[in-house]
Each structure stands twice: as structure tokens, then as C-alpha cells.
Chain A
Amino acid sequence: DAGVTQSPTHLIKTRGQHVTLRCSPISGHKSVSWYQQVLGQGPQFIFQYYEKEERGRGNFPDRFSARQFPNYSSELNVNALLLGDSALYLCASSDLAGPRVHGELFFGEGSRLTVL
């Protein structure tokens, strides 16, 4: 079975531009989470979506938005890019392991965004 797939793998943007990153979860997984990993740091939680609804949001500005589609794939959008948005953006999928209990997170290889 395919794992979590993300696209594009690498991209370069300039300040002020907009970017859309895409994620396809493992088949059967209904939850998608997004993390930002700045070089030399641990991943920081951005969003979680479950069954197409936002279930959690990290401490990121409104320039960051996301959505989940009926097939459970997801997009992360970042507007008005800043130099500090340069990072590896990781998508993770999971499913319920019990009532209101989420199972293991499976991460994709990430989309590396460079803002010039």
C-alpha cells in the first residue's frame, strides 16, 4: 500500500507569493495533520483535519489555511510568503484507534519550501 504522499517535493517562491501544498493520506485514513519543520528544529503543529472538519490549529498566523476534500486528501495554503516560512512541510495521516482516540501518525517525506 502507498504511504502518505506529498507534492511538490521541492519548490522555490519569492516573498509575497502564495503556495499550495498537497497531501494524500494512507488509504482508509480520515485524519490529516500538517507540521512545519524549520531547519534544525522539531516539527511544529499547524492543523489537523478529521472527516473534513478542522479539529486542531497551532499557533500560526491567518496566512496559513488548509482544507480536506471528500477523498480525505488535503491542501495547505500559505499566503503572502515571508522568508521565515522557508521550511519542510510535513503531512501526516492517521485514523481512529478507538472512540476519540487517534492511532499512530504516519508522515510523508515532506515538501521543502524555500522563500527568496
Chain B
Amino acid sequence: GNSVTQMEGPVTLSEEAFLTINCTYTATGYPSLFWYVQYPGEGLQLLLKATKADDKGSNKGFEATYRKETTSFHLEKGSVQVSDSAVYFCALRELTGGGNKLTFGTGTQLKVEL
């Protein structure tokens, strides 16, 4: 079956530090890959996505590149802000079957301090 593995948190960084959150996946087909963010007390928001190998998703200074050879989709940001503090979820969606089921990782909590 499909699965997503994320680095465990919490990750604590100083403002303006470089961020990497690792994500690797296992899938039988050709999945689309996503990063979602969950701010305290809120639902999930789509941060970025990539639908095929070598695609780079980007949004709000965050980037992730779909690496089929390493089955990875690591999230990066060059300079984090206190407002980036949240839980980040990596997820995949299989393209077959026509459904819209997402398989999520366990989430990585990011804390950014001044």
C-alpha cells in the first residue's frame, strides 16, 4: 500500500534560518505529491503540490521537488519567519481509480523563535 514518511518533530529554528523537512513515499503507481500546513486550531491548507517527476512546487517562499529516483518530496524554505510556525504534512494521491484519497505522513511541527 501507499505510505508517507516524514522526519519527526518538533523542529525548532531561529527566524531567518534555512528549513528542510524530509519526506519520502512509497506508492504502487504514479502519485501526485502535496505539502499541507495546519496552523494551531485550524484545518489543513494546501501549501504546494507537484504532479509528476522533476516538477517543483512553490508557494510563499516554500519549495519542494518531486524526485522519483529517491521517492522524495522534501520541503525547503530559505528564511523562515515566526509566522511559519505550524504543523506540516506531506501527502500523496494516486492517479489511478479516479478518487481523491490522500495518504498523509504523521506531520512535522515547526517552531520558529525570534
Name A residues whose Cβ lies closer than 8 Å to a Cβ of B: 4, 31, 33, 35, 40-45, 48, 55-56, 58, 90, 92, 94, 100-102, 104-110
Contact = CB atoms under 8 A, between A and B. Distances in A.
Given A48-B99, A100-B98, A102-B99, A42 B46 contact: no
Interface string B36-56: 100001111110010000000
Interface residues of B, number: 23
B66 interface: no
User: Interface on chain B toward A: helix, strand, loop, or mixed SS?
Assistant: loop
A104 B98 contact: no
User: Interface on chain A toward B: helix, strand, loop, or mixed SS?
Assistant: strand
Contacts of B102: 35, 43, 45, 105
Nearest to B89: A42
B104 interface: yes
